[in-house]
Amino acid sequence: MKPAFALVDCNNFYASCEKLFRPDLKHTPVVVLSNNDGCIVARSKEVKALGVKMGVPMFQVQEEIIKHGIVCFSSNYALYADLSNRVMAILEEDAPRLEVYSIDEAFMDLSGLDPLMDLQTFGKQIKRKVDKWTGITVGVGIAPTKTLAKLANHAAKKYPATGSVVNLMNPDRQKRLLALLDVSDVWGVGRRMTSKLKEKGINTALDLANANPKAIRSEFSVVLERTVRELNGISCLDLECIRPTKQQIICSRSFGHKVTDKQQLREAIAKYMTRAAEKLRGEKRLCRVVNVFIRTSPFMPNEPRYAKSLSAELPYPTADTRDLLDVADALFHHIYRAGFRYAKGGVMLSDFYEHNAFQQDLFQADNKKVNSKSLMKIVDRINRSNHGKIFFAAEGVSPKWTMKREHLSPAYTTKWADLPKVY
DNA sequence: TCTGGGGTCCTAGGACCC
DNA sequence: TCTGGGGTCCTAGGACCC
């Protein structure tokens, strides 16, 4: 069977989600902000037209926001995740082999499709269906490799005449499009590689496709070599339909305000550790290595800087929050230095094990906590329910460092009290 | 005053082994 | 003066992605 992939990607996803529940903002420029209301992470098409760039700090575009009446939202991941699931469920109906690549995009395997089915028509149908059922508009790129499907999707967005669906199964069309696109538009080619490639005279996507794969491998990496082959229609990257098990769990946040108090910083670390432990249990894994880091802001050239991280290996793999809090706290005390204005902290878990599938240490006393598993289960269950929350004392009771979310929209689809009302 | 968070994969180089 | 060859494993750091 000839490989064929479709990449379906939601337009301006976060901004579109917010607009969905605010019909009054249909033609209003809308942005969604990162945690702490720090940077712009999503822009509606009106904002893109105004020339406001992706990723810029909010305070730098304050004037434009006021001048053009741009409406700002704090990020509301519960809402985006829920709408994402709805979109993915629709796609899955038409392509059982689906790779959910990120919150707003997915690869579909089209190789099993009826050979008489026109792929352009198929793409249009998908687009119409998602739009009608969720209100989210998508772009569709179809091609014999994932890298080309990405590029087709890029073209679908860039050129309105395509109607947001581009079929790139034909090699001549591939060549023509590749010649039009910059090498930096290619999936897997970032800022660093773009400048290195351009030094060698590789400017367009077509230049990269025509490069010698072996030479690319020795000068860059196997990854880029694969990209070259994929651009030539040779499929090297298969669909990853089953989410691979996580290799690490990170929980970190910038603080709403700079933190100078040791106890407050300590509580923040405890809070992140608690959250990371929850995620770990969600993955049904145990972990053995814990890393804690703290740092000052890298954006303050006149302030003393400090950044430090430290890891420790536990004597046995665990998913018990109490074990993990102990290690995190010990690590924190090792790396903490007074006299700095801390901007961010976090924890990292790694070296994961399945329950009952690790080597016990012959000389290690069996000091595992009694009923650890069932206790953690209860804690998680209470915290998932609507009957209040319980927490560990180490997290503190009145944190002053929590993040800013001054423009948060309601949890329209995941909380009964926030259900939109129609009058 | 204010600058996101969470991941993956690859590579080079050092330690160590026979 | 002369100073092997071939492995494996681990880690830190770099590059990329959304």
Tell me if residue A102 falls in helix, strand or coil: strand
8 Å CB contact between A253 and A35: yes
Q: Is the CB of A402 under 7 A from strand B?
A: no
Q: What does the alpha-carbon distance between residue A147 and residue A7 come to, in Å, rounded to a whole number?
A: 10
**Degrees, nearest 5: CA angle A268-A273-A274:** 100
How many residues comprise chain A? Answer: 423
Q: What does the alpha-carbon distance between residue A20 and residue A365 come to, in Å, rounded to a whole number?
A: 57
| Bridge partners, A166 (sequence order) | A141
Q: What's the Å distance between residue A417 CA and nucleotide B2 C1'?
A: 32
Q: Is the CB of A48 under 7 A from strand B?
A: no
* Confidence at residue A369, expressed as pLDDT on a 0 to 100 scale: 79
| Bridge partners, A8 (sequence order) | A106, A140
Residues of chain A with pLDDT under 50: none
* Confidence at residue A358, expressed as pLDDT on a 0 to 100 scale: 60
Distance in angstroms between the alpha carbons of the first and the last residue of chain A? 53
Q: Is the CB of A153 under 7 A from strand B?
A: no
Q: Is the CB of A260 under 7 A from strand B?
A: no
Q: What's the Å distance between residue A350 CA and nucleotide B17 C1'?
A: 27
* Confidence at residue A366, expressed as pLDDT on a 0 to 100 scale: 52
CA torsion sign, A308 to A38 to A262 to A248? Answer: negative
Q: What's the Å distance between residue A78 CA and nucleotide B15 C1'?
A: 47
* Confidence at residue A362, expressed as pLDDT on a 0 to 100 scale: 53
Sequence-separated (6 or more) residues with CB below 8 Å from residue A237: A145, A146, A147, A226, A230
Sequence-separated (6 or more) residues with CB below 8 Å from residue A76: A17, A18, A408, A409, A411
A49-89 tens-digit pLDDT: 999 999 999 999 999 999 999 999 999 999 999 999 999 99
- Nucleotide B8, nearest residue via CA and C1': A247
**Degrees, nearest 5: CA angle A280-A281-A283:** 65
Tell me if residue A103 falls in helix, strand or coil: coil
Closest CA to A104 of A7, A237, A241: A7
8 Å CB contact between A44 and A73: no
Question: A177: number of CA atoms within 13 Å, CB side?
Answer: 27
8 Å CB contact between A13 and A136: yes
Q: Which two tokens stand for residue A337?
A: 């230095």
The model's pTM is 0.93
* Confidence at residue A333, expressed as pLDDT on a 0 to 100 scale: 94
Q: What's the Å distance between residue A99 CA and nucleotide C1 C1'?
A: 64
* Confidence at residue A92, expressed as pLDDT on a 0 to 100 scale: 96
Q: Which two tokens stand for residue A171?
A: 């090699």
Q: Which two tokens stand for residue A215?
A: 């030479």
Query: In 10 A of CB A327, how many CB atoms?
Result: 20
Q: What's the Å distance between residue A130 CA and nucleotide B2 C1'?
A: 38
Helices A77-94 and A13-20: angle between axes, nearest 10 degrees: 100
Helices A222-231 and A146-158: angle between axes, nearest 10 degrees: 70
